[in-house]
Amino acid sequence: MISLEEEGKNEGLESIIYICARCGRELKPHDFELLHSIKCIYCGSKIIYKVRKPSVKKIKAI
Ligand SMILES: [Zn+2]
């Protein structure tokens, strides 16, 4: 019998990052907090993609 862990149980481990549409650099939510606005800290572009980085799941093989 196999019991699967519920998806989304470890939501806290999932990190969200932002990618600038113009220069393609990686931005973190912390960077926007410093600026008090959503824009790229490198080139000033206001077009930012939100990217979800799913946490890596480790599966035990018996
Ligand atoms: Zn940029």
Which residue(s) pair with 18 in the sheet? 27, 50
Q: Which residues contact 13 (CB under 8 A, 6 or more apart)?
A: 55
Q: 14-53 — its CATH code?
A: 2.20.28
27 token code pair: 């931005």
- The annotation status of 23 as a binding-site residue, yes or no, is yes
Structure tokens at 18: 């932002």
> 53 CA to middle of ligand 1, Å?
19
From first to last of its 62 residues, the chain has per-residue pLDDT tens of 665 555 555 556 678 889 999 999 999 888 888 888 889 999 999 999 998 877 767 778 87
Structure tokens at 2: 């196999």
What pLDDT shows up at residue 13? 64
Q: Is 43 annotated as a binding residue?
A: yes
pLDDT at site 25: 96
CA of 16 to the centre of ligand 1 (A): 17
